[in-house]
Amino acid sequence: MSRIFSDDGKSIILALDGYSFSAETSGIDKTIGMLSELVENGVDAVIVSYGTAKIYCDVLANVPMLVRADLSTSLFDASVPGTTKLLSVEDALKMGADGIVSMTFPGGENEANSHRIAWEIAKAADDWNMPFMCETLPYGYHVTSKQSNQIEKIAAGARLGTELGADMIKTRFTGEQGDAEIIKAAKCPVFALGGPKAENIFAYFTFVKHCIDVGAKGVAIGRNITQSPNPIGMAAGLNTIIHKNGTAEEAFKVYEAHFQHAN
């Protein structure tokens, strides 16, 4: 776990695993090309798919890495209707991974299958002493109903992930003060899901600050870095909040400074 977290017990995790469950993957390969600079500006670890880890093995060799174990059952369906198990813990170990990740969908149509996948991975991960991150998403991959974004449902899903054997939880936060209940329920480190691509960067930093203030140990962020016009600035801004205990205002100033420097 110490490979995944910084010395302050927090982590900025860059999600580069989109090829496992989406056709909307623009920016991932380009972002990997600037990974060393992203690490210098605060990124602590990455989540990758099996193929991405193979293609970019030289680039990823010195970056703490979690590998995604599951795959969408329908790649061209953006809703991710379900997942199927792809990698074993042994596969992840052979790749030199520091952790393994899978999704569960509490309340979803394929709930039982996703839980079974998570439990099997958690058990094998314990046998090999490998950290397991469970991405617990009530009712499905996207927020599609009021229930799927309710604090009570998110908290129950997070606790289920822990009950299945997760060492870390990755899940939604609503932006409301009650999000602290998600942390309380999980009983293990919780990472805020990066979410859809943000148009208002200051609002996004405000959201991340809220997540950290209620007890999140960091963020697992994909599109808001990989599809950002200023990915280094995004990483540096997140670093200001998560590792330097800065404000959203300070993070936004850092973001803008990198933008101006790049131009």
Q: How far is CA 109 from CA 81, 106, 220, in A?
A: 8, 9, 25
Residue 182 CA to its chain's centroid (Å): 16
- What pLDDT, on a 0 to 100 scale, did the predictor assign at position 262? 65
- What pLDDT, on a 0 to 100 scale, did the predictor assign at position 259? 79
Q: Over 80: is that where the pLDDT of 261 sits? A: no
* Mean pLDDT for the chain overall: 96
Q: Span 60-81, mean pLDDT?
A: 96
User: What's the pLDDT tens digit per position in 100-116?
Assistant: 999 999 999 889 999 99
H/E stretch holding 58 reads helix 57-60
Q: Over 80: is that where the pLDDT of 68 sits? A: yes
Q: How far is CA 106 from CA 74, 84, 142, 146, in A?
A: 19, 15, 12, 14
203 strand-pairing partners: none
Q: Over 80: is that where the pLDDT of 177 sits? A: yes
Q: Span 188-212, mean pLDDT?
A: 94
User: pLDDT exceeding 70 applies to what percent of the chain?
Assistant: 98
**SS3 for 150?**
coil
Pairing of strands 83-85, 70-72: antiparallel
Spatial CB neighbours of 216, under 8 Å, sequence gap ≥ 6:
173, 183, 190, 191, 192
- What pLDDT, on a 0 to 100 scale, did the predictor assign at position 111? 94
- What pLDDT, on a 0 to 100 scale, did the predictor assign at position 85? 96
* pTM, two decimal places: 0.97
The first and second tokens of residue 134, run together, are 């469970």
Q: Span 162-178, mean pLDDT?
A: 97
